[in-house]
Amino acid sequence: MSVDSSREGGSSNAAEKLLRALDALPDHPRLTDLARASGLSKSTVHRLLQTMLGDGFASFDAESGHYTPGPRLLALAGRTLHRVDATVGAEPMLLDLQRETGATVHLAVLAGDEAVYVRKLEADKPYRMVSRVGMAVPLHCTGIGKAMLAGMSADEVRAFAARAGLERRTPNTITDIERLVSEVAKTAARGWSMDLEENEVGIVCVGAGVQDHTGRTMAALSVSQLKSDPEAVALEDLGPLVAAAAQKVSVAYGAPG
């Protein structure tokens, strides 16, 4: 949204200024560009960004100097889009995957150094996963997160690990950076990821990355099951199903090829 900078002097509404900055944020990561697009002064935008950073509505990458939507903003978008078919053409593939596996299916978007669920389809099981739309989960120990990391280079994975930390969630969590880099490389080569009770004891998961129109991995989907479920699909069989569904979702998002 482009706004004439002359408007700022006539607007005393702080909420309007904040909304103008928020509206411009996704497409204008640099402070100067964000100020120009929102029609606000750089000092005003900087002050608004500090508020958004403090509340999690914006994130800042010191290395690139870029501002991006933060986890709270993306979580809000996820909860809102869930009510108006946030999957943007992906819903048929998610439904087919849930019917085929009978397990819990998630779709999540990358939000800074976390993944945020934007869609959840419950399993045809007597049990329920604790996940919910809008919930943020770590990348290093979840199937959906590892699938997103597989879209990054080894150096990007190392930078992520150093920045975010590799919290041990269970005895199976990978907490060594080089081991994570190796695991992510295997995931990229295979086309799908595995979470072997690395985030929650008793839960296993398979994930695959989703690409946008630029070919960037910006989302992922996953299938989660109880390890003890006698009707659970073997992970070796589940992986190709999830990867195929992710490819179809990518096409729905306009991915090349």
Residue-averaged pLDDT of the chain: 87
The pLDDT assigned to 176 comes to: 97
State the Cα–Cα distance between residues 85 and 208, nearest whole angstrom: 21
Which of 73-82, 105-114, 224-233, 239-248 bottoms out in mean pLDDT, i.e. has the lowest?
Answer: 73-82
Average pLDDT over residues 234-254: 92
Q: How confident is the model at residue 85 (pLDDT cuts 50, 70, 90)?
A: very low
Task: Enumerate domains of the chain plus CATH numbers.
Answer: 7-69 (1.10.10.10), 84-252 (3.30.450.40)
pLDDT tens figures, 35-83: 999 899 999 999 999 999 988 888 888 888 899 888 787 777 655 554 4
Distances (CA, A) of 33 to 11, 38, 54, 66, 193: 20, 8, 21, 10, 37
Q: Over range 93-111, report the average pLDDT.
A: 93
pLDDT of residue 111: 85
Question: Is the pLDDT reported for residue 187 higher than 60?
Answer: yes
Percent of the chain past pLDDT 90, that is, above it, reads 59
* Tokens 């849930």, located at residue: 98
Query: In terms of pLDDT, which residue wins out, 2 or 237?
Result: 237
Q: How far apart are CA 164 and CA 175, in angstroms?
A: 11
Which H or E run includes 212? none
7-21, 77-91, 118-132, 217-231, range with the lowest pLDDT: 77-91
pLDDT of residue 78: 59
Predicted pLDDT of residue 204: 97
Q: Which of 10-19, 176-185, 194-203 has the lowest mean pLDDT?
A: 10-19
Round to whole Å and give the CA distance between 109 and 10. 38
C-alpha torsion 190→192→198→203, nearest 10: -130
- What the block records as the tokens of 161 is 């690990």
Assess whether pLDDT exceeds 60 at residue 201.
Answer: yes
- Kindly tell me the burial class for residue 90, based on how many C-beta atoms sit within 10 Å of its own C-beta (0-12, 13-18, 19 or more): buried
Residue type at 137 in one-letter notation: V
pLDDT band at 87 (very low <50, low <70, confident <90, very high): low
Residue 112 confidence (pLDDT) above 70: yes
The lowest-confidence range among 34-43, 74-83, 116-125, 128-137 is 74-83
The region of weakest confidence among 71-75, 200-204, 241-245 is 71-75
Strand partners of residue 59: 68
